[in-house]
Structure 1
Amino acid sequence: MSGYQDIDFQQARDILDREADSVLLDVREEEEFITGHPMEAELLPLSTLGPATAAEVIPGKDSPALVYCRSGIRSRQAAEKLVQMGYTRVYDLGSLVGWPYGMV
């Protein structure tokens, strides 16, 4: 078992709306992030993802952490890393292309 769950946009929206400690993580690089992202997204590039940086943006090991990137490759890698670091509720959205809930 991978330790994380693949979810779709509706499932992500439900988690973000229902769970106050959930966090939507953009694991692209800052140059990509500034071109457009969901309003509630936090930037945590895969290249900087580690125990200290994860702890800065994810409230707790049991908080829902939803990850996405451009194509789904980095989000899968980030999800695997978070699980290895002990995060228990990791969700992979894959690519955010087509996100229907607004971008900034």
Structure 2
Amino acid sequence: MKSTLVVAAVLAGVFLGACASQQRPVRDEAHRWVDAEATLVDVRTPEEFAAGHLPGAVNIPVDDLAQRLEELGAPAKPVVIYCRSGGRSARAEQLLKERGFQQVLNLGPMSAWE
């Protein structure tokens, strides 16, 4: 039983380390894009946004995105999107690409920014 727990703990650590290292390149790329004046978009609800968001982000909830595309500017302008866990930003990424936005970077969860 004790060895099973040790193996489980080691595997969990490997998994978490792999997840963190996979987020690092996206985080670094997101920082580069925003530094180069990409629009940073929080696709969470207004209530979630009011409770805390990344500096400089605009709030366009994913359910409103299709009706508010003009707020993002021309489809050629780079956009970085994020949400709480990555699900809504994945939906937003798909919608933006379907609508002709060529440079869309999905940060995923807001926590990946740090």
Establish whether TM, by shorter chain, passes 0.5.
Answer: yes
Instruction: State the AA in 2 paired with 1:90.
Output: V
Q: Which residue in the other structure is 2:50 paired with?
A: 34
Would you say the 8 A contact 2:107–2:113 is kept in 1?
no
Instruction: State the AA in 2 paired with 1:54.
Output: L
Are the structure 2 counterparts of residues 79 and 98 from structure 1 closer, same or farther at C-alpha, using a change threshold of 3 Å?
A: closer
Gaps of at least 5 residues in structure 2 are 1-22
Which structure has greater strand proportion?
Answer: 1
- Give a deviation string over 1:53-96, Cα, whole Å, max 9, x none: 0112x121111011100000000000000011111111100001
Instruction: State the AA in 2 paired with 1:33.
Output: F
Which structure has greater helix proportion?
Answer: 2
Question: How many Å separate the matches in 2 of 1:47 and 1:61?
Answer: 19
Aligned CA RMSD, in angstroms, stands at: 1.6
Would you say the 8 A contact 1:70–1:95 is kept in 2?
yes
- Aligned residue for 1:32, secondary structure, equals helix
Q: Runs of 4 or more off by more than 3 Å in structure 1?
A: none
TM-score, structure 2 normalization: 0.74
Greater RCO (CA < 8 Å, at least 6 residues apart): 1
TM-score, structure 1 normalization: 0.81
Question: How many Å separate the matches in 1 of 2:70 and 2:39?
Answer: 12
Residues 1-104 of structure 1 aligned to structure 2 (within 5 Å): 8-18=26-36, 20=37, 22-50=38-66, 52-56=67-71, 58-100=72-114
Identity over aligned pairs, percent: 33
- Aligned residue for 2:100, secondary structure, equals coil
Larger Rg: 2
Would you say the 8 A contact 1:44–1:54 is kept in 2?
no
- Aligned residue for 2:76, secondary structure, equals coil
